[in-house]
């Protein structure tokens, strides 16, 4: 079977992408509005972009229009906050935090503080104003590097690229002064409502050439 993206409905194409490009790491992004209102939301279109400079990227989609006839989607609170303040924190999600992460994934009104809703601890950051998630073992404080806007259609979105200015790592996950990847029970997003744990791993050395 071969398909052309332009021949598919949004839902059909979205399903193919999410079921085949997986597992996807989750950016649990904390932000502040210009007026100081906290926000916390997860995004699975996320990854490392570059190491020098250290960049992370995540892609928040648009909220569906509140009016059926509206031609454009509404920016999510996270995207609006980043535009206003140019700062955010990316917190990683472990298996024991998955249900609290899911609580923060709802399409809440901007007045809702998801930290309070999920019973999470907002810990002060070192270099940026948004708080980090105290329960997350690794948090990346970021300043905005660039936003790429792809489409204002309800099915469109943007790519937010942030430069890491500070990294918090829980001492419980350090070994000999370095982050111990084997102690992090991280999760990944699959298609639909499925998630996976990253504890089932294997090693594979790259071939030596020459």
pTM exceeds cut of 0.85: yes
Q: Which residue has the tokens 């409502």?
A: 193
The per-residue pLDDT for 210 is 81
Mean of the per-residue pLDDT values of the chain = 93
Q: Give, rounded to a whole angstrom, the gap between the first and last alpha carbons of the chain.
A: 39
pLDDT, average across residues 22-39: 97
Least confident of 12-16, 38-42, 71-75: 71-75
Residues 6+ apart with CB under 8 A from 55: 48, 49, 145, 161, 162, 163, 164
Handedness of CA 115, 121, 124, 128 (dihedral sign): negative
Burial of 77 (0-12, 13-18, 19+ CB in 10 A): buried
The Cβ-side half-sphere exposure at 62, using a 13 Å CA radius, reads: 19
pLDDT, average across residues 165-180: 96
CATH class of the domain comprising 26-197: mainly beta
| Residue ranges covered by each domain of the chain | 26-197
């Amino acid at each position: 079977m071969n398909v052309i993206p332009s021949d598919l409905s949004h839902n059909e194409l979205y399903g193919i992408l999410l079921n085949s490009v997986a597992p996807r790491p989750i950016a649990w992004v904390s932000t502040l509005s210009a007026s100081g209102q906290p926000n916390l939301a997860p995004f699975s279109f996320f990854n490392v972009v570059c190491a020098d400079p250290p960049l992370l990227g995540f892609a928040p989609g648009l909220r569906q229009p509140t009016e059926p006839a509206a031609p454009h989607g509404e920016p999510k609170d996270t995207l609006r906050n980043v535009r206003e303040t140019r700062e955010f924190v990316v917190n990683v999600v472990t298996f024991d935090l998955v249900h609290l992460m899911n609580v923060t994934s709802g399409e809440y009104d901007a007045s809702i503080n998801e930290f309070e809703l999920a019973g999470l601890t907002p810990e002060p950051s070192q270099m940026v104003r948004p708080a980090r998630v105290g329960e997350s073992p690794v948090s990346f404080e970021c300043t905005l590097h660039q936003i790429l806007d792809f489409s204002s259609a309800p099915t469109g979105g943007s790519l937010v690229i942030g430069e890491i200015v500070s990294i918090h790592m829980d001492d419980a996950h350090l070994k000999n002064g370095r982050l111990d990847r084997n102690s992090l029970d991280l999760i990944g997003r699959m298609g639909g409502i499925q998630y996976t744990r990253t504890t089932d791993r294997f090693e594979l050395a790259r071939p030596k050439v020459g």
